Amino acid sequence: MRIHDTLTRRTVELVPRDPGKIAMYVCGVTPYASAHIGHARTAVIYDLLRRYLVHVGYAVMYVSNYTDIDDKIIQRAQAQGIAPLDLSNRYIEEYVEDMAELNVLPPDVTPRVSESIEDIIDLITRILANGYAYVSSDGVYFSVRKFGHYGRLSGRSIDEMRSGARVDVNEAKDDPLDFALWKLAKPGEISWESPWGKGRPGWHIECSAMSLRYLGGGFDIHGGGEDLIFPHHENEIAQSEAAFPGRQFVRYWMHSGMVNMGAEKMSKSLGNVMTVRELLKQYPGQVIRLYLLQTSYEKPLKFSLDGIGQAFSNYERMAEFETFVQELVKSSGGLIQGGDQDICDRFVREFDAALAENLNTSRALAAVYEFMTHVRRMVTEGHAATVDVSCAMKAFQSALWVLGLDETGAYMRDKMALVASRCNDLQTIAAEVGAAVDDQSAASDVLDAIIVKRQGARSAGQYDVADQIRERLRGIGIALEDGVDGVRYRIHGKQ
């Protein structure tokens, strides 16, 4: 496949360090607050990359960290009167739950800073020994000017940054551009023993230590949000290559675009966030995931509820199609009288080709939509040729897996939860139409009773009554459909 490499600014063929294997590292979150939709976007995108690589046959080793020690965590924990690691631990647990809802597969390894102190100390020791760092009054600093390639990833020169003059002034630094590898602890702060005194790692060093630990030097893909390009990833390169001079740290750098709230970037520090939790109350995780995949991963995504509503319609279509094609396979024994035998092959080829071109999800989704239309048309028209429809089902399900949209079961569960959230309304309607339910009945039972009532009206020819009931349900976001094989209903998150 081809991917866009931030370092060379080119879209290039992905050539692994070891044939058939991909080693990838993605910067995870600093868990001091609930994950927002921007965090979700990054997680979903790299999860898609991983799934695609597995799909085309690679053995993938995927590492993603938690930066569970940093200034903000310490501050917040202090404010709440709890231990920093308790705070970060709580949000890590929350994050794991949220990502599971979005069908993000757990990475193979999820290292934490607090559990990687030894590796970090070893790495700093190496950097010091190689002369790229110095011990100062309040910690250990990296000498940016000693690293010749500094600024290559983010495309800036050391002198330009000087004119920016927004780098903080710190007496302990030899140069304002230098950054901390190890911070000596202030009284009462969480700390670990080190050759330079009790303290904790600076930001940046942990990702070098953890990625090198689990993947080794020169691993394949390093990813993260594009806001990490500078200084985080720039510094990672500097540290890692200073520790192991002459060896390339990472083969390809990938960066995912930001989610914007209105015109501005969504960020915890700006406070303009939409959390995943909040969204999951209104929409199934699969719908949110599809929403995030509708835009190319490198472009900014302007968050909108309307966009999620569109994703809802689309996901509904996919879920319905999956059921449809499964039933078709059952009823036809796998072969049907249809049309174009090539439909499957063309779909698989186009879908894979789209993702192979720097994860073009819009194009891949277009292939999925067209495929659904083609298969249904084939069945509708019923040509003379015999077509293997089980291959269509397999191709479709395989594509859904790659996109991580294969949790149709979870989708149905989430929809039922939305029905349950309307239990009061349903009870009201049941009372109005005289459906036989009691106050204790579950929402789905109440809904069933209403539907039974309506079917009774229909078979009695009382269409005005039936239509009224349908309208009432539509009013609370439940749409009834009378098919030849019974009644179905759809639930809509938007109202």
Partner RNA sequence: GGCGGCAUAGCCAAGUGGUAAGGCAAGGGUCUGCAAAACCCUCAUACCCCGGUUCGAAUCCGGGUGCUGCCUCCA
Return the number of the residue (254 or 441) whose C-beta is nearest RNA.
Answer: 254
Cα angle vertex 155, ends 153, 157, to 5°?
Answer: 110
Return the number of the residue (61 or 473) whose C-beta is nearest RNA.
Answer: 473
Q: How far, in Å, CA of 260 to CA of 132, rounded?
A: 38
At its nearest, how many Å lie between RNA and the CB of residue 439? 29
Q: Which residue has the tokens 């039933």?
A: 327
Cα angle vertex 239, ends 235, 244, to 5°?
Answer: 145
Structure tokens at 298: 């490198």
Structure tokens at 275: 């959390």
At its nearest, how many Å lie between RNA and the CB of residue 461? 9
At its nearest, how many Å lie between RNA and the CB of residue 67? 6
Residue 480, amino acid: L
At its nearest, how many Å lie between RNA and the CB of residue 117? 18
At its nearest, how many Å lie between RNA and the CB of residue 300? 6
The whole-angstrom distance between residue 21's C-alpha and the CA centroid of its chain comes to: 22
At its nearest, how many Å lie between RNA and the CB of residue 339? 11
Return the number of the residue (18 or 482) whose C-beta is nearest RNA.
Answer: 482
| Measured torsion, CA atoms of residues 257, 259, 292, 314, in degrees rounded to the nearest 10 | -130
How does DSSP classify residue 39? H
Return the number of the residue (168 or 438) whose C-beta is nearest RNA.
Answer: 168
For residue 127, the number of C-alpha atoms closer than 13 Å in the C-beta half-sphere is: 31
Return the number of the residue (244 or 321) whose C-beta is nearest RNA.
Answer: 321
Q: Which has the closest alpha carbon to 228: 494, 46, 488, 492? A: 46
Q: How far, in Å, CA of 438 to CA of 435, rounded?
A: 9
At its nearest, how many Å lie between RNA and the CB of residue 301? 6
At its nearest, how many Å lie between RNA and the CB of residue 342? 16
At its nearest, how many Å lie between RNA and the CB of residue 375? 8
Q: Which has the closest alpha carbon to 28: 47, 6, 2? A: 47
Structure tokens at 435: 């459906």
Return the number of the residue (69 or 121) whose C-beta is nearest RNA.
Answer: 69
Please list, residue by residue across 142-176, b when 16 or more beta carbons sit within 10 angstroms of its beta carbon and e when fewer do.
bbbebbeebbebbeeeeeebeeeeebeeeeebeee
For residue 164, the number of C-alpha atoms closer than 13 Å in the C-beta half-sphere is: 12
Residue 45, amino acid: I
Structure tokens at 394: 């397999």
Return the number of the residue (17 or 458) whose C-beta is nearest RNA.
Answer: 458
Q: How far, in Å, CA of 18 to CA of 220, rounded?
A: 9
Phi and psi, residue 390, nearest 5°: -70, -25
Return the number of the residue (179 or 244) whose C-beta is nearest RNA.
Answer: 179
Return the number of the residue (234 or 414) whose C-beta is nearest RNA.
Answer: 234
Contacts of 197 (CB under 8 A, 6+ apart): 184, 185
Return the number of the residue (162 or 247) whose C-beta is nearest RNA.
Answer: 162
At its nearest, how many Å lie between RNA and the CB of residue 381? 7
Cβ 311 vs Cβ 288: under 8 Å: yes
At its nearest, how many Å lie between RNA and the CB of residue 72? 6
Return the number of the residue (403 or 480) whose C-beta is nearest RNA.
Answer: 480
